[in-house]
Structure 1
Amino acid sequence: MSAQNATVQSLVYGIPLLEYVIFANAIANSSGTWTTNTLVHSTTLATPSSHAIVLPNVDTLYSSGLLDLSGGDIIATMPPLEEGRFYVWPFYDLYSNNVCNIGTITNSTAGKYLIKYRASKPGCVAANDEYAGTIYLPTVYGATLLRIEVGNSSDVDYVVSSIQPNFTLEVGPSALSACAPALTAELLNAGLTTSDLPLYILQLTARLAANNPPDVVADIAPVTAMLETAGVSLATNTYTQPTSVDLALAYTTAEAVLLAVGESATDFESLGNGWKALAPSLCGNFLSHYDVRGFIAVGGYLQLQASVAIYPVYELGQDLYSNQTYMVEFFGKPQVNGFWSLTMYDSDGFLVPNSLDRYSLNDRGNMTYPDGTLVYGGASPSDSTEPFYMLLQTTDIQASVEWESNWLPTPADGGEFRFNLRWYGPTDSLSDGTYTYPRVTVVEPNPPLPRSG
């Protein structure tokens, strides 16, 4: 392998580390101090000014944490689950692989979970006499991002005061000797060339990769060889650019590799009516698919496994502009064991400011059928196949009265936007072709509501 090709692959491999640092620094900024092995609870829902996470949820409260197993184990305590409220507490390795989830869908037993470092065979192990379960991380450093469903804005105070504080992280049994340097702000930030992005990624990779090898054991030798050929020394934790390498070109090529994932018919599966989703086998835990891992890190960091959540996107790669109005027709209620939403984002993946402070439409809101009755919370059965509609229309044009409850504002001034669905606790119908995905059509502003019959 040439040094140039190795550099391209090393950039693809290391890009999730860049997102990890952004995540870590955001936690420090929100908490006021650098902290590891403890949860930092967000007490407000995401808003357009929330830029710590790309494509944020707007109907969950987050609790974030950095995991540092260099000095020993960590204990995670999960309280008894409140019936009717969805929780997921995921645990990620340094490279953003979702190696274990506890909560509503899987590993729902309340109690203490022991988090341990194990270089291979990551995941969850069943309870023993002392712990509700054991979580094995394949890297010394990791992350966690607890998500707690919030029914509406008035529910926030209750979740903040009565639910969040009962989820905790604490330092557990200590190791006889440290297996890596402690996870500090200096380790992730000091002495790196942040003004040159590809150089920065390779320097960061050099600093962290030696103590955080691939979790696929068969990949350790080839990944090590790739990094060394690219100038990343795992022995000295330094990066030296080979004289034959054009770093700018390598980064452009690496970006093209990631972009190709979104256009791949193999990585993304068609769900019908223009919707796609990442193949379930690739969701959350990417194993040797480093291109997919990098693509998701940039576009949707800290993704969950498909058994917990599915994230369908509409026409990935197609430009959508808010100088056009779109109608989304749902062919009945999506069947989930948790909750679902359709969320609006600008071209950078952040929420769209609007006078309603409305950033998603979901199964906990006041959407209505064309006859004015509630889709959720009314007499309509949970498995109803009656169609209902959403209006995606710019904030520059006020929705008509009949559309107000089903209006999701798009950016002002004709800006680009994107949107995606989230199915939490998805049933098989949402991925096996049984459910007919929503149809999206271009319409005039404030079109007449479709009427049955």
Structure 2
Amino acid sequence: MKKTTTMRHVFSPAGAASWIVSVAVLLLAGCAAPMHSSSAPRNHGWTKDEVSDSYVFGYPLVVMTSARAVAAAGQAPGGGVNTLQRQDTLPAADDAGVSPHADVDTLASTAWLDLGAEPVVLLLPNTRGEYLDARALDMWTNVVWSTGKFANARGFTKPSAIAFVAPGWDGQLPADVERVDAPGKSLWLSVRFAATGPREVPAARRLQSLVRLEPLSAFVEEHGKRAKGGKRLKPAKREESDSDGESIALADTPAAQTQPVAALDADAFFGRLADALRDNPPSAAEAHELEILADLGVKPGEPAHLPRDAADAIKDGMADAHARLASAPVNALSGNGWTWLADGAGHYADDYALRAYAAFTRPGSGTKEDDIVAATSVDAQGEPLDGDNRYMLHFSAKALPPVRGFWTLTAYTADGALTDGRLPHLSVASRDGLRRNRDGSVDIYVQSASPGRARQVNWVPAPKGPFELVLRLYAPQTGAADGNWQPPALVRK
């Protein structure tokens, strides 16, 4: 297991040295002109590092605002802000538009919230013991509110209402309504119910149909008097999905924008970032990052003007930033070939490397109380996983994944696609009644061919060729977040 100190937003040593030397030269020369004077060429010794650091800093915001723009334009099916989109069926390998590393264990309802006019109220039903995961993220991908705080991960025992409130709103909320103060006017909402196989889909869809979003004024008109009287809120009205069982492509989710944003060139990316910063300024503690951006010609709400005489430095900075997006930061946990996010997930503060990595590889990530996603692409010997081989993952009876909810295992191709073919299932879930050994341990078979009917419930179908195995812990216990527990290595058979 490896755990090191948090990676902070810093210049590389080479870039810092270049910056110090450049400033010293300017001071010795008594230069009173601005650094970007048209009469003197700019020294670009530190431009590569500025571009890389600024890209990593701004990438999550560009992903979120790009996805929200799709929703606001109504380009996605059932799109629009303050409108729930429901995923009615589990994704399959041949589904068009399935996001990389798609979750095949839950049905999700998502929405972009616009709190500018008035607060928006989320109504959640009595889940009657069924697993519920709900979270709201701000435009910098920090978790503003989530259900991970519930110890038993079993959702609500009565209908509940949560009001998301924009900064500066000083109105009153009815009784029995939880207030959540958002840092800005926009949020992304996700509500998920467990559906680890076709038999669980009807129950998950029924619960989905009871989830509602309402502007505060409509909520008060319908529920206000009863709520003010201290009585229970009325259950949310059941609304049948208008898709008749067809899976809705969640085209305006953050996951759908990670690759398109990463494919933008420098001018397009920093142009979007400048526009996004206008309505989503960073905290006061991040003034230094705005200074760096301004030095590059990127200012909130203005067209971006990157230095035209630094094309090579900008190109190198973009390449460095893309490599950082795909590389686990030093403060991620690792062990037995697995890597997973640690304590800072969902509440990133100034850990920009972790935030960007999460936005690129695990968009919409929650906190350590919400879920943990661990991934590996190597076996116990450090060799790349390959579907032409057979592997076993052995959990001892006392070292099963520590969860308050449930856990699952799914195999993906190297580019994040689901395993294709005529398969009984795409993932293995602890809810499936896994076959145990006499000592209580569990063996999971990871391979492309079925291990036989008796072992099939413990079989994770693997794609042909290189693949990645992903372990999801829904409502994890503390040990998984602090590194006291770690997944076992895959043993090649």
Same fold (TM > 0.5): yes
Q: Return the offset for 1:256.
A: 2.7
**Residue 384 (structure 2) pairs with residue 340 (structure 1):** no
Give the greater-gyration-radius structure (CA).
2
Aligned-partner SS, 2:209: helix
Deviations 1:158-178 (A, max 9, x none): 322x2112211223359xxxx
Cα RMSD after superposing both structures: 3.2
CA deviations 1:71-110 (Å, max 9, x no partner) are: 3321111222321x11011000112222210377278574
1:9 to 49, 53, 72: 53
TM-superposed CA distance for 1:113, in Å, is 1.4
Contact 2:342/2:481 (<8 A) preserved: no
Q: Could you tell me which of 102, 115, 140 is aligned with 1:56?
A: 102
Structure 1 counterpart of 2:417:
350
Q: CA deviation at 1:18?
A: 4.4
Instruction: Tell me the residue number matched to 1:388.
Output: 442
Match of 2:332 among 268, 271, 274: 268
| CA separation of 1:69 and 1:54: change in aligned 2, threshold 3 A | farther
Q: Distance in 2 between matches of 1:73 and 1:209?
A: 22
Paired residue for 1:153?
198
1:63 Cα deviation from its structure 2 partner: 0.4
- The alpha carbon displacement at 1:328 in A equals 0.6
Q: Structure 1 residues 306 and 250, CA, compared in 2 at 3 Å: closer, same or farther?
A: same
Amino acid paired to 2:361: G
Could you list the per-position Cα deviations for residues 124-148 of structure 1 after superposition, in whole angstroms to 9, with x for gaps in the alignment?
A: xxx9753531122223222111111
Structure ranking higher in helix proportion? 2
Mapping 1:174-323, distance limit 5 Å: 196-214=264-282, 216-219=283-286, 221-236=287-302, 238-246=303-311, 247-260=314-327, 262=328, 264=329, 266-270=330-334, 272-280=335-343, 282-314=344-376, 319-323=384-388
* CA distance, structure 1, for counterparts of residue 57 and residue 342 of structure 2: 20
* Distance 1:111-1:13 versus aligned 2 partners, 3 A rule: same
Measured in 2, the distance between the counterparts of 1:7 and 1:296 equals 20
Question: How far off is 1:50 after superposition?
Answer: 6.0
Contact 1:75 1:115 survives alignment (8 Å): yes
Alignment of 1:172 onto 2:216: yes
User: Which residue of 118, 121, 139 maps to 2:167?
Assistant: 118
Correspondence for 2:90 among 28, 45, 53: 45
Asked if 1 retains the 8 angstrom alpha-carbon contact of 2:62 and 2:276, the reply is no
Are 1:363 and 2:430 counterparts?
Answer: yes
Describe the SS at the equivalent of 2:306. Answer: coil
1:74 is the counterpart of 2:120? yes
SS in 1 for 2:348: coil
- Provide, for residues 404-448 of structure 1, a one-character-per-residue CA deviation record: whole Å limited to 9, x for no partner: 222211112x2x2111211112223434566563341111xxxxx
TM-score (norm 2): 0.72
1:355 deviates by: 1.3
CA shift at 1:335, angstroms?
3.6
Structure 1 residue identity aligned to 2:163? L
1:132 aligns with 2:186: no
Partner of 1:46, secondary structure, is coil
For residues 357 and 146 of structure 2, the distance between their equivalents in structure 1, rounded to whole angstroms, comes to 22
Inter-partner Cα distance in structure 2 for 1:142 and 1:339: 27
Q: 1:22 to 1:292 in 2, by over 3 A?
A: same
What is the distance in 1 between the residues matched to 2:469 and 2:350?
28
Q: Please report the TM-score for the alignment, with normalisation by the length of structure 1.
A: 0.77
Match of 1:430 in 2: 480
The range that moved more, 426-435 or 4-13, is: 426-435
Aligned residue in 2 for 1:93: 138
Contact 2:74–2:80 (8 Å) recurs in 1: no
Contact 1:283/1:304 (<8 A) preserved:
yes
- The CA deviation at 1:118 is 3.1
Gap runs ≥5 in structure 2: 1-18, 20-45, 219-251
Shift of 1:296: 1.0
- Aligned mates of 2:109, 2:177 — CA distance in 1: 21
1:343 and 1:421 in contact (8 A); partners too: yes
Query: Cα deviation per residue 1:221-255 (whole Å; 9 max; x = unaligned)?
Result: 1122122122212142x212212433322210112
- 3-state DSSP of counterpart to 1:239: coil
Aligned residues of 1:17 and 1:204 also touching (Cα < 8 A): no
**Separation in structure 1 between the aligned mates of residue 111 and residue 81 of structure 2, nearest angstrom:** 7
Alignment CA distance shift 1:209-1:173 (3 Å): farther
TM superposition shift of 1:11: 1.4
- More strand per residue: 1 or 2? 1
Local SS of the residue matching 2:432 = coil
Counting matched residue pairs gives 394
2:288 alignment partner, SS class: helix
Give me the whole-angstrom Cα distance separating, in 2, the residues matched to 1:30 and 1:335: 40
Mapped to 2, the partners of 1:118 and 1:232 lie a distance apart of 26
User: What CA distance in whole angstroms lies between the structure 1 residues aligned with 2:446 and 2:430?
Assistant: 17
Which residue of the partner structure matches residue 224 of structure 2? none
- C-alpha offsets along residues 345-370 of structure 1, whole Å, 9 cap, x if unaligned? 12122321131152211112243235
Unaligned runs of 5+ in 1: 120-126, 175-184, 372-384, 444-453
Is contact 1:81–1:103 with CA below 8 Å preserved after alignment? no
State how far apart, in whole Å, the 2-side matches of 1:335 and 1:259 are.
27
